[in-house]
Structure 1
């Protein structure tokens, strides 16, 4: 990059609201960056309680709908931003970078994309049992507090997890879970990605070692496919003792700082971070 980007776009993932990025936004704004945290289309911009009441509005929302919306947001910016995303938000960040948008991309605990393989379907279905029930594909899915503690924030202390749940957690469209989770096994998947693209901006894949939704093997395989087939910069890092809520649990500052430092000076390979 000839000059540093001045804008950072933070994309939330399933079951999270954009406000979940509030501490990252404050931290980056204090560094002088403009920070955008766009909502998914049709989703209520209100507080979590309103989103839970109006969840049916987003029941049919898919990856293409969200990707088109985010593309419009980014295309209207004066200069290419840094794009970061968590969970399927990380997948969306990768797809946006693959589509020629953004100066650098960071996928944090991201989901699989079409063509990467690496995780047996039986294993993925054991992690995300909703993938066994296609009847709910066009519905919205809520997480109970126990679900959140067991699979999303399994390293978080009980009292803290309740606070996070009450402030950030809202129902999510089931369709995006199916589209991302089954991407490696479905022809013409909505999350198709060109691993041979030499012209894309740099991509950084970050994993949490204790992630029970998208285990570290998912991001590792994604990184390896990019490093193997493209001359564009790809990097990978795994943080020990971190779960799927890696961007919000104690120690989130090191994730945020690592992501930004790399985005401003991308380098290829596996990075030592802990």
Structure 2
């Protein structure tokens, strides 16, 4: 028996992982999908209280999950982490720093070393970066911004439904930290590529505007320099950033489950 902790990224509530948690639980996993620090229990409450989310940075989120993982029952077996977007960056740090035994990073936000950011990534990040006050505040996506960053491969109807169901205000600080990752020593977006760690699966959406597949491929190349550890890559050429929550999420979830089983979890 193993335990999985799901880590969401910006603008999606932790409850967006509930279908994944149910699917993993059906396969015998102990599944947890806690939110970030400052998150409210429900989507409605998060929208009503956007200031709660403001000010938290990447390292704050990492520490939050480290504490949560440390509090899990050791009898539940080894812990793996599955993260999407900024959650994908968080789980890579959790893995490299020895807090989890394995990880799946889906469309992960770029870490230090990922130098060339495509224009579409910069367009999405500009939602926060265009206003310095967002460093300490929270940022909410408009329906059009969600459609560009998440739902560009969806029908208008499905995109609108996902926006209404899952989106919440999120802290702007991680986007500022990530934008400066390659110019600031000690960036919280740094992942130790030389760490002795468990296996890592990177998953890319080929049509993703927020984290284009080129960024995930670069992350794969950076990790593969450490030949003493396992790093794998799967790409869905026709999927966007919504691949964990849209109509095709089960395919991605089953890929993660099969890979984890193959790695002995």
Find the aligned partners of 1:230 and 1:183 in 2 and give their Cα distance: 25
Larger displacement relative to structure 2 (230-239 or 119-128): 119-128
Q: What stretches of structure 2 of length at least 5 have no aligned partner? A: none
Counterpart for residue 270 of structure 1: none
Counterpart for residue 259 of structure 2: 262
Structure 1 residue 83: Cα displacement: 0.6
Counterpart for residue 172 of structure 1: 170
**What whole-Å deviation, never above 9, does each CA across 1:214-272 have from its counterpart, x for those lacking one?**
111111111111111341111111101100111112221111011111122239xxxxx
> Are 2:120 and 2:210, in contact at CA under 8 Å, matched by a contact in 1?
no
> Are 1:196 and 1:230, in contact at CA under 8 Å, matched by a contact in 2?
no
Note if 1:207 corresponds to 2:204.
yes
Counterpart for residue 243 of structure 2: 246
Runs of 4+ in structure 1 displaced over 4 angstroms? 120-124
Q: CA RMSD in A?
A: 1.8
Counterpart for residue 271 of structure 1: none
**What whole-Å deviation, never above 9, does each CA across 1:107-153 have from its counterpart, x for those lacking one?**
00001112x23414877434422334434211110001111112211
What is the 5 A alignment of 1:191-206?
A: 191-197=189-195, 199-206=196-203
Question: Structure 1 residues 264 and 80 mapped into 2: Cα distance closer, same or farther (>3 Å)?
Answer: same
Which of 64, 70, 91 is the equivalent residue of 2:89?
91
**What whole-Å deviation, never above 9, does each CA across 1:148-193 have from its counterpart, x for those lacking one?**
1122111111111122111110010000122234323432111211
| TM-score between the two structures when normalised by the length of structure 2 | 0.92
Counterpart secondary structure, 1:246: coil
Counterpart secondary structure, 2:225: helix
Find the aligned partners of 2:238 and 2:38 in 1 and give their Cα distance: 35
Q: What stretches of structure 1 of length at least 5 have no aligned partner? A: 268-274
Counterpart for residue 105 of structure 2: 107
> Are 1:118 and 1:217, in contact at CA under 8 Å, matched by a contact in 2?
no
